[in-house]
Amino acid sequence: MAGNPQPHENLSWGITLLAVLLLALLSVALNLYFWQPPVGSDDLHYFQRAMGALPLTQEPVQHGALRLFLTLLIQLPNLLLGHGYTLEAFYTAIGFQSVLGFCGVALFAFAAAPSRTAALLTLLFWVTSYAALLTQAKLVPDGFGTAIAFFATGLLYGLALRWPVSPTSHLFRLGVMTAGLLLWGAFSIRATFAPFILSALLLGLFSYHRRYLMPYLLLGLLLGSAIELFALWQIFGDPLIRLHTLLGYGTGGIEGTIFAQQDQASLSTGQALWLLALRFPKLLYNTGSAEVFFFLFGGLGTLTWLLRRPGRAPLSKAMLLLLGFGALAFAVKGGDFSRPYLRESLRYYLQCLPLFQLATAELLLLATPWLLNRWHPRIGFKPATLATFAVAMGLIGLNLWTLNQSTHLAKNGNTGQLTILHRLNQLPTPPNPTLYGDGTNLFPLFFPAGSPWQHQKQFTQHSQPGYLLIDWRKRNYMLKLGYAYGKNTHQLYDTIAHSPHLYRHQSGRWLYDLFLVEIPPIQRASTPLPTDGFTLTDAKGEQSPWSQPLQLTQNQSVHASALAIALPGQQLLRLHFRAKTHMTSATLQVMLRYTHADGQTHQQFMGESVADKTWHDFSLWTYLPVAGHSPDLLLKLSHGSAEIQLQALELLERHPLDQLENNQPQWQSTWQP
């Protein structure tokens, strides 16, 4: 087969350019359809610094402020278009990130792929990727960094191994130096792109023109480092401030989700390495998308690079993938395998994704014709190529189908903070209007300078009446990761007891609440429901009384049900319990089901809470819009393991300022824990 010409190798440049144009249009359409609102965290911090709304030198200096090239990339399109600190400017920066990502992966694919068909297939995988579409819709360093790193790597790969450019020409020298400069730029955006610099140096050694290439590559890297050091010195007075920050970053360590389920003291070195290797494949598998197949096929494709035919080009690609993923998966702190530098996050994996997609494209174009010819020796190339694209379309379809259901998307309801701030903007403006709690970064987009409104990031201490916004997704996330500023979340779970409720927004398991801050706080009377009528039933069908302490591990659930208890309508229902875990954290989700008078089942998500190693009191609540009976509480532990003591199920007195009926569509949930 190796000696026969492949028809996909004869694609004309005209057809190829038309295909690239169509893929670019597809990319634009998918990014617009799958758009996401601002997360309201690091994304807006980067945006604020770039647009001058947050000083770079604000004390204490955070690592995000030191990513000067990232700041420049966010500024660039908005400087050209004259945008200020607006949502339009934010989405302009995201659009620029997506364009750079498309261009970077396209250049790399056409430089590294053995044929134009393989390059187009790689680009198609990128444009329709679950991980890429989900990540590049956010303003994150991983998106810009991946774009710059692959643009530089593609440029260097083509000049070193593929393109007929004279190594003594000015074009060659300028291209190599530009690649080195951009590689340092990617490293400046995020330190996790350091393996690309090492890969570039090794790629230079693989090159036929190493003695011409290496000096200019090093010159580009040195130029990039000199520019960054000078800029850091000018802005912060310390050219090595980023190095100091990197050395002190995350010194406490991060327990990976797999390690969190293991007895670390009993792990051998081999077992620890195996768990490290499994972290990201398990993450991809848990998405339910086709990304795990790209990972597996990409691994097989890498073997073909290593084994099928000797040569510098395939060996270089294998080196790029193994170094990139190896650093991502196995980098640990102080030689301690239980302390990986990076927790399992889809956006961290983005920097390896195009390599796995290229390996998958080459594997499919190689293996599908071979398998078909084994089945029927006379089958032609055209049916084989069609079969290859049929397999590819299956992977693409699974990715897009999974992404279409993601709760991250605006079209699926992930507009909690935006919706509440928009609603707040429509309320009557009180004297000295104040918003407390979450929304710090989104607040200036709705209430610009000169507005009478002010925001205070205070959750429990309020100096005057106002409004309190709680983003439970963010609060629980901070608590789950053990951040010090997430500890006050434990004091927020029972906010309903002393604050009138104005609005709740639900998107899947993500809840957002807007409360009215009254001084002094209100006090709601409570009416306990008889818990002796409840029976706890575990997954094995074994029953126990309400007072029985629960021991739950990940994905275990218990039903607390009572057939003889009636629930009045238009009331607040609160579940009170205590919990702790022997691990870093544990997440408990609670769903209420009860039966209406007409026999229909009503289902409501009451929320989730995060326990740590100390006993804490928790309260989760919901509003009962209609009367019913036979309540059934589903308690499921979605993360970690925990001890739980159920204490009380109560009806809370309504307050005249509550606006619970305004949220009636939010009080019924189709989401399942």
Phi, psi (deg, nearest 5) at residue 579: -155, 155
Contact predicate 70/141, CB 8 Å: yes
Q: Which of 104-108, 261-265, 337-341 has the lowest mean pLDDT?
A: 261-265
Task: With H, G, I as helix, E, B as strand and everything else as coil, classify residue 625.
Answer: coil
pLDDT band at 229 (very low <50, low <70, confident <90, very high): very high
User: If pLDDT is split at 50, 70 and 90, which confidence band does 600 have?
Assistant: confident
Q: In the listed set 347, 378, 404, which residue is the last one of a domain according to the structure?
A: 404
654: phi then psi, degrees, rounded to nearest 5: -80, 150
Which range marks the domain in which residue 657 is found? 526-667
Do the domain assignments include residue 18?
no
By three-state DSSP, how is residue 608 classified?
strand
Beta-carbon contacts of residue 19 (< 8 Å; ≥ 6 apart):
120
| pLDDT tens, position by position, 185-210 | 999 999 999 999 999 999 888 888 88
Residue 10 in domain: no
Q: How far apart are CA 145 and CA 101, in angstroms?
A: 9
Position 253 pLDDT exceeds 50: no
pTM for this entry: 0.85
Q: What is the pLDDT of residue 666?
A: 65
Q: Which residues are paired to 576 by β-bridges?
A: 619, 648
Q: Answer yes or no: is 478 within a domain.
A: no
Q: Does pLDDT of 541 surpass 70?
A: yes
Q: What pLDDT was estimated at residue 10? A: 63
Q: Is residue 511 part of a domain?
A: no
Q: Please report the pLDDT score of residue 246 as a whole number.
A: 77
Q: Tell me which of 378, 404, 430 is where a domain ends.
A: 404
Residue 268 has pLDDT above 80, yes or no: no
188 and 334 part of one domain: yes
- Least confident interval from 103-112, 263-272, 322-331: 263-272
54 vs 21: which has the higher pLDDT? 21
Residue 448 lies in a domain: no
Higher pLDDT, 411 or 380: 411
Give residue 126's pLDDT: 98
Q: Is residue 475 part of a domain?
A: no
- Count of structural domains within the chain: 2
Instruction: Check whether residue 532 and residue 391 sit in a common domain.
Output: no
The mean pLDDT value for 42-67 works out to 76
Judged against a pLDDT cut of 60, whether residue 245 lies above it is answered with yes
- CA atoms of 59 and 67, how far apart (whole Å): 16
Give the model's confidence band at 2: pLDDT under 50 very low, under 70 low, under 90 confident, else very high: very low
Least confident segment among 193-202, 398-407, 415-424: 415-424
Q: Mean pLDDT across the stretch 282-302? A: 95
Same domain flag for 532 and 392: no
Of 404, 428, 455, the residue that ends a domain is 404
**Domain contains 159:** yes
In this predicted structure, what is the pLDDT of residue 247? 75
User: What are the Cα distances from residue 598, in Å, to 192, 595, 670?
Assistant: 58, 8, 19
The answer to whether residues 297 and 367 touch, using CB atoms and an 8 Å cutoff, is no
With cut-offs at 50, 70 and 90, classify the pLDDT of residue 7: very low
pLDDT at 251 over 50: no
Q: Is the pLDDT of residue 131 over 70?
A: yes
Q: Is the predicted pLDDT of residue 6 greater than 60, yes or no?
A: no
Instruction: Please tell me the predicted confidence (pLDDT) of residue 494.
Output: 92
Q: Which of 60-69, 212-221, 292-301 has the lowest mean pLDDT?
A: 60-69
Q: What is the CATH number of the domain that holds 543?
A: 2.60.120.260
Quote the distance between the C-alpha of residue 25 and its chain's center. 25
Supply the mean pLDDT for the chain.
87
What integer pLDDT is reported at residue 337 of this predicted model?
72
Q: Are residues 255 and 393 in the same domain?
A: yes
Judgement on whether residues 273 and 129 belong to the same structural domain of the protein: yes
Q: What is the mean pLDDT of residues 579-605?
A: 88
% of the chain surpassing 70 pLDDT: 90
Amino acid 400 reads L
What element of type H or E holds 557?
strand 557-561
Is 604 among the domain residues?
yes
